[in-house]
Amino acid sequence: MLSDYHIHSDCSGDGKSPMRAQIAESLKKGVKKLCFTEHVDIGVLDGLFDTDLALYARVFEDARRAYPDLPLFMGLELGFVPEQILDLLGRCAALPLDFHLLSVHLVNGIDPYDQELFFKDKTRDQAAAEYLQTVLASVRDFPDYDAVAHIGYVFKFTGDRFPPLRHEDAPDVLDEILKIIIQKGKALELNTSRWKGEGMPGWDLFDRYRELGGELVTLGSDSHHVSTVAKGFPEAVEALKAKGFRYLATYEQRRLVPEAL
C-alpha cells in the first residue's frame, strides 16, 4: 500500500488542482492512503502559503463523502518561524488533524524560492549553514509535530547553480538534526517533488539517518497539481526497502500507523 503524506489542493494558496482531482489521480497511480497537508505559512508572500481553514474543512469533508472507501486524512504543513509557534499551534487546534508536518520555508525572513534575494552575496556554504540552523531550531523548538518535511529545500529551485544538499556539507549540524528527530520519535520525510533518482533529502542523508537508528519515514509527493501526483513513488519505495527500511510511517488521529513496505 502506497501512502502520500504530503499533498496539496487548491485550498492552499499555491495549489493548482482541486482536492477531488488530486485524489482521483492518486488512485490512478496506486496510492491507497492519502493525507492532505495544506499550507500554514503565516504572512508569507501575502498569504500565498496560507490556507482558509474553514474552507479546507468543508472541502475535505466533501471529499471524504465522495470517496468513502479511501483512507483519507487531514493534515497541515506548518511553516516554522520562531515568533509564530503559538499562532501555528492555534491553527492546529482549530481542526481535527491526523498529522502535523513541520517544514522550513523562511530563513531569516526570506524564502530561498526567491533566489535573487536569498542567495545575494552568499556562497553555497553560507546559504546551507543559514538554512540548517533554522531547520535545527525547528526540530528542537517546535513542540508538536509528527514528521519533518523536505530537508534540503534551500537548494530545491537552484537548478545547476547549486547542487543538492549533502551530508558532507555540514555533517555535525545534520547529525544533530537527525538525532533530535530520532530521539523525539519523529519521522523523516522522503519528498519526491524534484525526483531525479532521489528526493529531498538525498540518499546519503537517509543512509546516515539509518546508521543513527532512524526508522520512521514518510513518503510525500508535495504535489500541487495532478501532473506531479505520486512522482517517483515506485522507485522511492524500492530504494527505501533496499536501504533496510521496513515500513512507511503514516498517521491517524496523530497516532503512528506503520505500513509495511
Of 42, 139, 153, 38, residue with least CA distance to 97 = 38
Return the pLDDT at 160.
87
- Residue pair 182/222 in contact (Cβ under 8 Å)? The answer is no
CATH number of the domain where residue 174 is located? 3.20.20.140
In a domain, 194, yes or no: yes
Give this prediction's pTM.
0.96
Chain-centre distance for alpha carbon 103: 6
Query: Can you give 232-252 as a three-state secondary structure string?
Result: CHHHHHHHHHHCCCCEEEEEE
% of the chain at pLDDT higher than 90? 93
In a domain, 245, yes or no: yes
Mean pLDDT over the full length of the chain: 95
- As to burial, measured by CB atoms within 10 angstroms (0-12 exposed, 13-18 middle, 19+ buried), residue 89 is middle
Condensed to tens digits (0 to 9), the pLDDT of residues 230-246 reads 999 999 999 999 999 99
- CA 119 to each of CA 12, 52, 124: distance values in angstroms, whole numbers, following the listed order: 26, 31, 8
Q: Please state, in angstroms and rounded to a whole number, the distance separating the CA atoms of residues 91 and 20.
A: 24
Cis peptide before 201 (omega within 30 of 0): yes
In a domain, 82, yes or no: yes
In a domain, 1, yes or no: no
Condensed to tens digits (0 to 9), the pLDDT of residues 66-118 reads 999 999 999 999 999 999 999 999 999 999 999 999 999 999 999 999 999 99
Q: Please state, in angstroms and rounded to a whole number, the distance separating the CA atoms of residues 196 and 185.
A: 29
CB environment 4-21: b (16+ within 10 A), e (fewer)? bbbbbbbbbbbbbbebee
- 173 pLDDT tier (thresholds 50, 70, 90): very high
In a domain, 22, yes or no: no
Return the pLDDT at 187.
98
Return the pLDDT at 50.
83
In a domain, 133, yes or no: yes
In a domain, 251, yes or no: yes
pLDDT of residue 45 exceeding 80, the answer is no
In terms of residue numbers, what domain contains 243? 75-260
pLDDT of residue 205 exceeding 60, the answer is yes
- Residue pair 8/15 in contact (Cβ under 8 Å)? The answer is yes
- 13 pLDDT tier (thresholds 50, 70, 90): confident
Average of per-residue pLDDT across 36-44: 87
Q: Please state, in angstroms and rounded to a whole number, the distance separating the CA atoms of residues 191 and 221.
A: 6
**Which alpha helices (DSSP H) does the chain contain, by range?**
19-28, 53-66, 85-93, 115-118, 124-141, 171-183, 203-211, 233-242
3-state helix, strand, coil in the chain (%, to 5): 40, 20, 40
pLDDT of residue 191 exceeding 60, the answer is yes
pLDDT of residue 55 exceeding 80, the answer is yes
Total domains in the chain come to: 1
In a domain, 163, yes or no: yes
